Structure 1
């Protein structure tokens, strides 16, 4: 399996002012992690930094799904750009002062799986937030991983 993030042009880490990486190993099976991750409407129950999540048409995330939500105090419009069940999902998110690409990889292991998430960001709000709160996104993303792995 290709275990690298497939960055869209302009969102590669080398050209992005913000890039965060988080990873966790868990005994939780990949299908359970996947189910929790694609159930975006349920994120606020496991990830306190997500609110007002609404998937167009309702239901879980799917290839091309559009959804709105709020995180880090920013209202975002997002679209799923990559979707390989139980393996990878990524979305492009835009809001006032921020454009972000958030990707996830789920890699099966002998005892469960490894969950990797990476995000790159552009925009004034993204750069300012990084300067004012340098490790905030890493801490929140780690909490999200821990909840997916629980």
Structure 2
């Protein structure tokens, strides 16, 4: 297991920090309860309103494990596939395009004193120019920072 990887994160076969070109990990305490954070994460059609870099999302079917959606994050059009969906604690999805692919895993843990510990991991594959870890880290950090501070 790579350093910085939470032991309770589930990786689908063929994915994970040891099987990618780039890996980023973030975590943050959010004052909102896990169910509020989870609801925001799985409302994929609304990602363009709060996820930096996401221009459009097209959802044609129910969001279930194996469910598909399309994410347009110029210059990429990504085919999204839900890999894990456990209310209100886990959301994982794979994104595949012609030059870039990644798996994002979100783990939401209740904090006894209140709120949620949001843990985000992303393992990505593609050309080095698309996967500069510092660029991916900055972009994905902005997604974590945009989670609801409270309800």
TM-score tier after normalising by the smaller chain length: 0.7 to 0.9
Q: Which runs of 4+ in 1 moved over 6 A?
A: none
Q: Please point out which of 51, 75, 97 is paired with 2:55.
A: 51
Higher relative strand content: 1
Give TM-score, length-normalised by structure 2: 0.86
Q: 1:102 to 1:72 in 2, by over 3 A?
A: farther
SS of equivalent to 1:32: helix
What residue in structure 2 maps to residue 20 of structure 1? 24
2:115 pairs with 1:112: yes
Residue in 2 that maps onto 1:130: 131
The alignment covers a number of residue pairs equal to: 143
- Kept in 2, the 8 Å contact 1:38–1:62? The answer is no
Please provide the CA RMSD for this pair.
1.8
C-alpha displacement of 1:36: 0.6
CA distance in 1: counterparts of 2:29 and 2:148, whole angstroms: 8
Mind listing any 5+ residue stretches in structure 1 that lack a counterpart? none
Runs of 5+ in structure 2 lacking a partner?
A: 1-5
Superposed displacement of residue 72, structure 1: 5.8
Q: Which residue of 2 aligns with 1:67?
A: 69
